[in-house]
């Protein structure tokens, strides 16, 4: 088995179902309640832009978040306490807890790739 230091960097592929479903939900809402439909459409558009521009990279020591080619966040695995992907039949949310904070991310990345990288780079101590 390879050590964590020898693991290659992995960039997750984008996953579009969540933003597209939110945008699709906005259409009937526009007929029922205009302002609610507009709000849901804006949120769906926001998620779609995030899916197009954000990338998660798993390195040997940390999860890095990039907007296009610019690194915007760095989460060292040494600070992680726990992670979970919510609602595995249809994954919609990724949660992880660090020593001093918690983070929630909508499932904008391929769930199988995300779980595989998490298990390889940062196994859960509670499992």
Q: What is the CATH number of the domain that holds 77?
A: 2.30.29.30
Between 124 and 83, the higher pLDDT residue: 83
Flag whether 126 is in a domain.
Answer: no
Return the percentage of the chain with pLDDT > 70, whole number: 92
Nearest Cα neighbor of 77 from 95, 61, 64, 65 is: 61
> Given this model, what pLDDT does residue 2 score?
44
pTM equals: 0.83
Query: What's the half-sphere exposure (Cβ side, CA atoms, 13 Å) at 96?
Result: 21
> Given this model, what pLDDT does residue 126 score?
58
Look at residue 6 and tell me whether its pLDDT is greater than 90: no
Flag whether 94 is in a domain.
Answer: yes
Q: Write out pLDDT tens, residues 106-116.
A: 999 999 999 99
Look at residue 50 and tell me whether its pLDDT is greater than 60: yes
- Write the CA distances from 15 to 47, 62, 73, 85, integer angstroms: 11, 21, 20, 14
Flag whether 127 is in a domain.
Answer: no
The count of domains in the chain is 1
* Structural domain harbouring 50: 4-121
Flag whether 58 is in a domain.
Answer: yes
């Amino acid at each position: 088995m390879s050590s964590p230091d020898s693991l290659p960097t992995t960039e997750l592929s984008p996953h579009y179902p969540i933003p597209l479903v939110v945008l699709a939900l906005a259409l009937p809402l526009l007929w029922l309640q205009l302002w609610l439909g507009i709000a849901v459409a804006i949120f769906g558009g926001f998620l779609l832009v995030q899916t197009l521009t954000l990338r998660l990279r798993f390195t040997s020591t940390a999860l890095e978040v990039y907007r296009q080619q610019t690194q915007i966040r760095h989460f060292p695995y040494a600070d992680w306490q726990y992670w979970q992907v919510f609602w595995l039949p249809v994954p919609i949310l990724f949660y992880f807890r660090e020593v001093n904070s918690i983070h929630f991310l909508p499932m904008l990345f391929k769930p199988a790739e995300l779980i595989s990288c998490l298990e390889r780079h940062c196994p859960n101590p509670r499992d």
